[in-house]
Amino acid sequence: MEQRNPRLRWLIVWVVAAIWMGAVLARLGYLQLFCYSDYFAKAQHQQQRTYEISPMRGDIFDRKGRQLAISIPMDSVFADPAEIKEPDMVARLLSRVLDVPAEDLEAKIRDSAKPVRLAKKLSADMVERIDEMNLKGVFFQKENRRVYPQHEFLSHVLGWVDVDEKGMGGIEQELDKQIRGRPGRVMVMADGKRQFYDRNEASADPGASVVLTIDETIQYIAEKELTAVIAESHAHSGTVVIQDPSNGALLAVANWPTFDPNDPGKFSAEKRQDLAVAAAYEPGSTFKTVTLTGAIENGLTNPGEMIDCQEGSIVVAGRLIHDHKPFGILSVRDVLANSSDVGTIKLALRLGDSRFYDVIRDFGIGEPTGIELPGENRGKIRTVDNWTASSIGSVAIGQEVSVTPVQIISAISAIANGGTLYRSHVVQEIRGSSGADLPLPKRPEPTEVTDPKTAATIREMMENVVQRGTGTPARLNGYTAAGKSGTAQKIDTNTGRYSPTQYIASFVGFAPVNEPAVTILVVLDSPVGQHLGGNLGGPVFKRIAEQVLAYLDVPHDVPVESDSEFAKKNKSSAEPDDSVVQNDLRVADRKTQQEQATFQNVVSKSSASRANTGTTDAPTTVISEEDSVDVPDLTGKTVRGVTESCSRLGLIPELIGSGVAVEQTPDPGTRVQRGSSITVRFGRAAAVVSPAATPLAVQRNVN
């Protein structure tokens, strides 16, 4: 047999080796050049665990450095599916502590390829109980919880955060980017046996802190007095705004109803709405200050000019407009003091549509103030092209125009400070985590809306409103004050017409007159009974102003009188209350006899009326079942309770007195036609209600 050539055999070996090495090198090159990213990612997934560390949100302070919102570290529990061999067992054990269905926890563990959060921000007791279980693959990570120490205090301005620490309202939302900070990361390395051996951490950057213009003490005063007047008036909602007229800074923003930002989910969206910036309303007579400012600045009148108010009626483009009472000839000063619609409309007609519209826009009506709060309503004033022939008469007295509380208070502050419009704002400083100041949100530049001489004239006229006009209940002891009341009918959403029973009662003013330290606005939506802005909002303005001016150490500019002297001096000059309902619980004792007499008088008149129309207590005409109802027993019900009961049955309540219902006519069970009037007298039975179950204002009177 012929032997092969040894050299050929070696050649074959080398060729085979070369081909094998070439294949290996080609494969390695392919893996390194084309598959590197995929395999590297798989290796990282197997060897690394990355967790995000939530940043610490910056604190929120009042203007004096008092904490209003803070963040505290708390433990959240995580599960690593790669470390858990029996998810069902782990889920059952944790379910007992977390109060979460075991199947939900098991699904989270099984469905995740990386560590998953099972529960956030646990109490110390829960952390201890889970830690004692010593469950493999279950661990804790520090996260921050937002806390509002004073609960409902200033809640609408502060806002709240969601479960992921994202701002959802107020300053928390508007400045979320600055307050939230930047999250950190923790990277942990694991070997082939899934044992962690290294840790890399990039710390979170804390968020910036915010210093507000709000003063905690002034805010407390505003909220306290707003709560009291809501309890007395049974209003649907209310707002109090206090501003520094020299720069537009808001010192207090109080809304009712309110909510607790620590648990916002328990409250409706309506309660979480910031009425001061989001709720536009027709301002009514408070808007007359803008109308008269335009007329005086344009040289069309002066405070001493006499105006014929035509006994309380005027026709504008075929539309008849009535005053709230008939007036003859009044000076322009008294047109404002007595809140004459006719006199105001006559001055607006001199201005004309275009000039009047320009004045309104100069005061910032119809455009946002730029306040650092979300959801601001711009209000509404139609362009002149969209005005009807009679619109000027409506706009002059605060109808066909809507404003927000922050808009109207800025406009009045412009009159108070000499003619400069500063837009409302609530942010004083933004401090970075390093302590350096950060840029403030851009706000509109101040603008001159009227000259100082005109502003001084309007201030004097507004002081006259408080001294002897519709604002006398707002007169201060020891300080001069200027203001304007407003009582605006609301639009009935069902009919599209002005409601005869629903009102916005408001009062806006400033003090002291010559060097104003504060401007204060009080707005009450749909009060029950007493609804005149001067009688309802004026006393609230007085109580707030006297407390705030004393707190700010503002010197008295008129002599301080004793309470008895001041009350006696101002009793005769107070604006008469022509409303049927008297809701002031503090004077119930003195009114009881008068209310009984009034009740009997109403009953007598009703009987006489029925006699004159041939109607008796046992009517001969048949009332259909469809249009008739039985009079309910209203005894013991509050004013609001009586109103709601009658409204449901289509009856019209005539309410006398305060407290709870003690007498009514017709008697309970009487069959009457829908639309009939039910006269109800209220009395002192309210005084025995348990203080724990009564509003703050009632408790004070009981005690």
| Residue 144 CB-density burial (10 A; 0-12 exposed, 13-18 middle, 19+ buried) | buried
Which residue carries 């048949």 as its tokens?
A: 622
Whether the per-residue pLDDT at 678 is higher than 60: the answer is yes
Which has the closest alpha carbon to 429: 63, 148, 55?
Answer: 63
Q: Higher confidence at residue 137 or residue 158? A: 158
pLDDT of residue 107 exceeding 50: yes
Q: Is residue 269 located within the same domain as residue 318? A: yes
Same domain as 566, residue 616: no
Task: Look at 648 and 576; give whichever has higher pLDDT.
Answer: 648
Residues 333 and 459 in one domain: yes
Q: What is the CATH number of the domain that holds 492?
A: 3.40.710.10
Residue type, 179: I
Do 521 and 601 have their domain in common?
A: no
End-of-domain residue from the set 185, 212, 239: 212
In a domain, 506, yes or no: yes
The continuous run of DSSP H or E covering 508 comes out as: strand 498-511
> What local confidence, expressed as pLDDT, does residue 589 receive?
38
Instruction: Reply yes or no on whether the pLDDT at 587 is more than 50.
Output: no
Please say whether the beta carbons of 524 and 537 come within 8 A: yes
Same domain flag for 534 and 600: no
What pLDDT is attached to residue 635? Answer: 86
176 in the same domain as 239:
no
- Is the model's pLDDT at 203 over the cut of 70? no
Q: What share of the chain is helix, strand, coil (3-state, %, to 5)?
A: 40, 25, 35
Q: What is the pLDDT of residue 66?
A: 92
Q: What is the pLDDT of residue 540?
A: 96
Last residue of a domain, one of 156, 185, 212: 212
- Contact between 392 and 316 (Cβ < 8 Å): yes
CATH number at residue 95: 3.90.1310.10
Residue 147 has pLDDT above 80, yes or no: yes
| Model confidence band, residue 40 (pLDDT cutoffs 50, 70, 90) | confident
Please report which confidence band the pLDDT of residue 44 belongs to, taking 50, 70 and 90 as the band edges.
low
Confidence (pLDDT) at 473: 94
- Domain boundary (191, 212, 233) is at 212
Q: For 643-662, what is each residue's pLDDT tens digit?
A: 667 756 767 767 665 567 88
**What integer pLDDT is reported at residue 187 of this predicted model?**
67
- Per-residue confidence band for 698, with pLDDT thresholds at 50, 70 and 90: very low
Cβ proximity of 235 and 526 under 8 Å: yes
Helix (H, G, I), strand (E, B) or coil at 612: helix
Determine the pLDDT at residue 374. 94
Mean pLDDT of 255-275: 94
Decide if pLDDT at 134 tops 90.
no
Q: Which of 320, 341, 477 is nearest to 390 (CA)?
A: 320
Confidence of residue 202 (pLDDT cuts 50, 70, 90): low
Give me the pLDDT at residue 50, please. Answer: 67
Question: If you average pLDDT over residues 290-296, what whole number do you get?
Answer: 97
Question: For position 221, what pLDDT does the model report?
Answer: 96
pLDDT score at 37 = 76
Listed in sequence order, the residues at least 6 apart from 497 whose beta carbon sits closer than 8 Å to its beta carbon are 491
What is the 8-class DSSP label of residue 440? P
Of the candidates 398, 378, 413, 363, the residue with the CA atom closest to the CA atom of residue 487: 398
Q: Which CATH number goes with the domain that contains 608?
A: 3.30.10.20
404 domain residue, yes or no: yes
The position carrying tokens 């001016």 is 549
Does residue 98 surpass a pLDDT of 60?
Answer: yes
pLDDT at 257 over 50: yes
Question: Whole-number mean pLDDT of the chain?
Answer: 82
520 Cβ neighbours under 8 A, 6+ residues apart: 240, 241, 242, 243, 508, 509, 510, 511, 541, 544, 545, 548
pLDDT at 52: 66
In this model, does residue 495 exceed pLDDT 70? yes
Q: What is the pLDDT of residue 123?
A: 77
pLDDT category of residue 186 using cuts at 50, 70 and 90: low
Is 124 inside a domain boundary?
yes
Asked whether residue 400 is domain-assigned, the answer is yes
Residues 205 and 343 in one domain: no
Q: What average pLDDT does this structure show over 581-592?
A: 34
Of 248-252, 325-329, 594-598, least confident by mean pLDDT is 594-598
Indicate the burial class of 600 (C-beta count within 10 angstroms; 0-12, 13-18, 19 or more): middle
Domain residues for the domain of 323 are 216-571
pLDDT tens column, 304-345: 999 999 998 999 998 999 898 899 999 999 999 999 999 999
Among the listed ranges 172-186, 321-335, 532-546, 581-595, which one has the minimum average pLDDT value? 581-595
Give the number of other CB atoms < 10 A from CB of residue 414. 28
Comparing 434-438, 502-506, 658-662, which segment has the lowest mean pLDDT? Answer: 658-662
pLDDT, mean of residues 531-554? 94
**For the chain, what percent of residues have pLDDT higher than 70?**
81
Q: What pLDDT, on a 0 to 100 scale, did the predictor assign at position 408?
A: 96
What is the predicted pLDDT for the residue at 29?
Answer: 82
Is residue 16 in a domain?
no
Same domain, 280 and 344: yes
Beta bridge partners of residue 188, listed in sequence order:
49, 199
What pLDDT, on a 0 to 100 scale, did the predictor assign at position 581?
Answer: 26
What whole-number percentage of the chain has pLDDT above 90? 49
User: What pLDDT is recorded for position 672?
Assistant: 84
Mean per-residue pLDDT, 151-179: 93
pLDDT at 684: 57
Q: How far is CA 136 from CA 83, 90, 108, in A?
A: 6, 9, 16
> Domain check: are 549 and 690 in the same one?
no
Q: Are residues 304 and 224 part of one domain?
A: yes
Question: What is the count of structural domains for the chain?
Answer: 3
Given pLDDT bands bounded at 50, 70 and 90, which one contains residue 45?
Answer: low
Q: What is the pTM of this model?
A: 0.72
Confidence (pLDDT) at 663: 87
Three-state SS for 539-588 is HHHHHHHHHHHHHCCCCCCCCCCCHHHHHHHHHCCCCCCCCCCCCCHHHH
pLDDT(159) > 90: yes
The answer to the question of residue 28 being in a domain is: no
184-198, 229-243, 427-441: which has the minimum mean pLDDT? Answer: 184-198
- In this predicted structure, the answer to whether residue 114 has a pLDDT above a threshold of 80 is no
Specify whether 548 is located in the same domain as 520.
Answer: yes
Top mean pLDDT of 39-53, 120-134, 284-298, 627-641 is at: 284-298
Which string of DSSP letters, residue by residue, matches 348-411?
Answer: HHHH-HHHHHHHHHHTTTTS----SSTT----EE--GGG--TTHHHHHHTT-SEEB-HHHHHHH
Residue 695 lies in a domain: yes
**What does the block give as tokens for 90?**
């782990």
The span from the CA of 401 to the CA of 358, in Å, is 14
Supply the pLDDT for residue 464.
Answer: 95
Instruction: Enumerate long-range contacts of 569-574, CB under 8 Å, 24 or more apart.
Output: 570/472, 570/475, 573/467, 573/468, 573/472, 574/472, 574/473
How would residue 481 be classed by pLDDT, with cut points 50, 70 and 90? very high
Helix axes 452-468, 288-297, angle to 10 degrees: 140
> What pLDDT score was predicted for residue 199?
56
Q: Which residue has the higher pLDDT, 165 or 258?
A: 258
Q: How far is CA 397 from CA 199, 284, 615, in A?
A: 71, 6, 42
Residue 2 lies in a domain: no
Query: What's the mean pLDDT in 610-620?
Result: 36
Sheet holding 660-665, edge to edge: 652-657, 677-683, 660-665
Q: Are residues 608 and 552 in the same domain?
A: no
Q: Give just the sign of the alpha carbon dihedral 321, 325, 329, 334.
A: negative
- Residue-wise pLDDT tens digits, 386-430: 999 999 999 999 999 999 999 999 999 999 999 999 999 999 999
**For position 287, what pLDDT does the model report?**
96
Kind and range of the H or E element at 129?
helix 124-133
Measuring CA to CA, which residue among 218, 150, 212, 147 is closest to residue 175?
A: 212
pLDDT of 391: 94
